[in-house]
Structure 1
Amino acid sequence: MEEKVSLLENEAIDDLQLKGLHLIQKNAGFRFGVDAVLLADFANVKRKHKVIDICTGTGIVPFLLWGKYEPESVIGLEIQDDMVEMAERSVKLNKLQDKISFVHGDLKDKKLLSELGRYDVLTVNPPYKLNNAGIVNPDDKLAIARHEVLCNLEDVIASAKKLLKDNGRMYMVHRPERLIDIFELMRKYNIEPKRVKLIHPNSKKPPNIVLVEGQRDGGSFLKWEPSLYVYNEDGTYSDEINKIYGREE
Structure 2
Amino acid sequence: MRTEPFAEKELSHDAFLGGRLRIAQPKTGYRAGVDPVLLAASVPARAGQTLLDLGCGSGIAALCVAARVPGVSLAGLEIQPAYAVLARRNSATNGLALDVTEGDIADLPAELRARQFDHVIVNPPYFDRDHSTAAEDSGRERAMGEALPLTDWVRAAARRTRAGGTVTLIQRAERLPDFLATMAAHLGSLEILPLIPRRGRAARLILVRGRKGGRAALRLHDGWLLHAGHDHGQDGEDYTAPTSDVLRNAAALPFPA
Normalising by the smaller structure, the TM-score range is: 0.7 to 0.9
Who is 1:126 aligned against?
124
Identity of aligned residues (%): 23
Partners of 1:84 and 1:104 within 8 A in 2:
yes
Conserved? CA contact 1:19–1:67, under 8 Å: no
Aligned to 2:85: 85
Aligned pairs for 1:163-174 (under 5 A) are 163-174=160-171
The alignment yields a C-alpha RMSD, in angstroms, of 2.4
Asked whether the equivalents of residues 36 and 123 of structure 2 are also in contact (C-alpha less than 8 Å), the reply is: yes
Query: Is 131-140 or 159-168 further displaced after alignment?
Result: 131-140
2:101 is matched with which residue?
Answer: 103
Contact 1:18 1:67 in 2 (8 A): no
Structure 2 partner of 1:3: none
Residue 200 of structure 1 corresponds to 196
- CA drift of 1:112 comes to 3.0
- For 1:22-33, list aligned pairs within 5 A: 22-33=22-33
1:230 Cα deviation (Å)? 1.6
Q: Secondary structure at the match of 2:121?
A: strand
- Any idea what the Cα deviations from partners look like across 1:111-139, whole Å, max 9, x if unmatched? 53654510000001000111314854898
> What's the CA shift for 1:43?
1.1
TM-fit CA distance, 1:217: 2.1
- Tell whether the 8 Å contact from 2:167 to 2:210 is kept in structure 1 after alignment: yes
Q: Go from structure 1 to structure 2 and tell me whether the alpha carbon gap of 1:247 and 1:84 turns closer, same or farther (over 3 Å shift).
A: closer
Match of 2:243 among 237, 241, 244: 241
User: For 1:246, what is the secondary structure of its paired residue?
Assistant: helix
The total of aligned residue pairs comes to 239
SS at match of 1:9: helix
* Contact 2:34–2:247, Cα closer than 8 Å, also in 1: no
Is 1:49–1:120's contact at 8 Å kept on the other side of the alignment? yes
Normalised to the residue count of structure 2, the TM-score between the two structures is 0.85
List alignment gaps of at least 5 residues for structure 1: 1-5
Residues 185-224 of structure 1 mapped to structure 2, 5 A cutoff: 185-188=182-185, 190-224=186-220
Q: Which residue of 2 aligns with 1:74?
A: 74
Tell me, in whole angstroms, the C-alpha distance in 1 between the residues paired with 2:31 and 2:23: 10
Deviations 1:210-246 (A, max 9, x none): 0011011211322333212221115322122112123
In structure 2, the CA distance between the partners of 1:116 and 1:141, relative to structure 1 (3 Å rule), is farther
1 or 2 for the larger relative contact order (CA 8 Å, sep ≥6)? 2
Question: 2:55–2:122: 8 Å Cα contact kept in structure 1?
Answer: yes
Report the alpha carbon displacement of residue 193 of structure 1 after superposing the two structures with TM. 4.5
